[in-house]
Amino acid sequence: MMKRILAIGTGGTIASQPEENGLTPELNTDQLMRQVPQIRSFCDVTCNQLCSIDSTNMSPSRWVQMARAIRQSYDDYDGFVIIHGTDTMAYTAAALSYLIQDSPKPIVLTGAQKPIGSDNTDSKINLEDAFRCACSDLCGVMIVFSGKVILGTRARKTHTKSFAAFSSINYPELAYIRDGRVLPFIRPSCAERPTFYDRLDPKVALLKMIPGTDSALLGWMLDQNNGLIIESFGVGGMPSYRGTEFYDRIAEAMARGKTIVMTTQVENEGSDLAVYSVGNRLKTRLGILEAYDMTTEAVVGKLMWILGQTQDPEQIRRLFYQPVASDILYPASEA
């Protein structure tokens, strides 16, 4: 018996057609599926068009909507494929990893760098690969793109135009797909039943540090949000030369109950605040949260999820350092 797969359409490049002002999502999921008829030879597909947007317009409320759609249909299908624009796909994959935890069924995101109507499109192979993965024994949230299967909490778009658009950061790929076969290396952990969540706190911001950043910007972002992620330099730290006031602003904000996470702009190997004095005192004196080897995309999704559940600082710290879908490796001292 063929496996039943729910295809959830959201728009993106794969569904776009050229308009006067550039590519615009126009095709629905049924139209996309008709372009790849071989998929229905190995699985039974039902289509659900959730929205038709450029993924630049993705939002936390859309993530909750996706999770809810999967929750409502979870018992009726063997797997799920979300057709999504590439630009924010890694953020969506991370967010869904927190909204839908320990799923024993595969939840696969895919898309394309070229519209399905283009002569040189990568969309048809990505769609076929995604549905084959959704029929496999893999579990949890993942991205399938250019023959690679990447864990949802570890994916990042690293190329703007190349077909091999996504990379797995600080973690191996789960599988490759070659000639219609899923070749697994790692099977993520799962439970007998998934745990669904339906709340995210969208009041989370990201500050990317550059040399000369004014601490007033940090203060304003902390005033406007419940959580702030700071992408600092190297292994992490804040400027400490006279007049910068970063440390004082962070201390004051944390005293008001704001949640602050330090991560790094460097793609590989993660943060280590203990190395330099500019980071050490943030960690030892203020107890700022540290992302270690997490991707920024995962930190965003995790912090929104945590703040959607609790405002208690001890619970926030516990949940942040509690691994979800292999999102973080960290020293045992943080456990």
Per residue in 51-79, pLDDT (tens digit) is: 999 999 999 999 999 999 999 999 999 99
Q: Does 153 qualify as catalytic in the annotation?
A: no
Angle between helix axes 246-255 and 215-224 (nearest 10 degrees) is 10
Q: How confident is the model at residue 13 (pLDDT cuts 50, 70, 90)?
A: very high
* From 13, 121, 264, 296, the catalytic residue: 13
Nearest to 261 by CA among 307, 193, 216: 307
Q: How many CA atoms lie within 13 A of 180 on its CB side?
A: 4
Kindly report, residue by residue over 225-252, the tens digit of the pLDDT: 999 999 999 999 998 876 678 999 999 9
pLDDT tens by residue, 269-305: 999 998 988 899 898 899 899 999 999 999 999 999 9
List pLDDT tens digits, range 100-152. 999 999 999 999 999 999 999 999 999 999 999 999 999 999 999 999 999 99
> Averaged over 25-45, what is the pLDDT?
96
Q: Which segments of the chain belong to CATH 3.40.50.40? A: 204-334
pLDDT of residue 334 exceeding 70, the answer is no
Q: Which CATH architecture has domain 3-196?
A: 3-Layer(aba) Sandwich (3.40)
pLDDT at 1: 85
3-state secondary structure of 165: coil
Q: Is 265 exposed, middle or buried (0-12, 13-18, 19+ CB in 10 A)?
A: middle
Amino acid letter at 45? V
Contact 221, 199 (CB under 8 A): no
141-181 pLDDT, tens digit each? 999 999 999 999 999 999 999 999 999 999 999 999 999 99
CATH number of 204-334: 3.40.50.40
User: Where does CATH 3.40.50.1170 sit in the chain?
Assistant: 3-196
Q: What's the pLDDT at 206?
A: 98
Query: Which pTM value belongs to this model?
Result: 0.96
Q: Looking at residue 243, what is its pLDDT?
A: 64
What local confidence, expressed as pLDDT, does residue 18 receive? 83
Burial (0-12, 13-18, 19+ Cβ within 10 Å), 332: exposed
Write out the two tokens for 294.
């997490």
- Give φ, ψ of 225 to 5 degrees: -135, 160
Contact present, 207 and 195 (Cβ < 8 Å): no
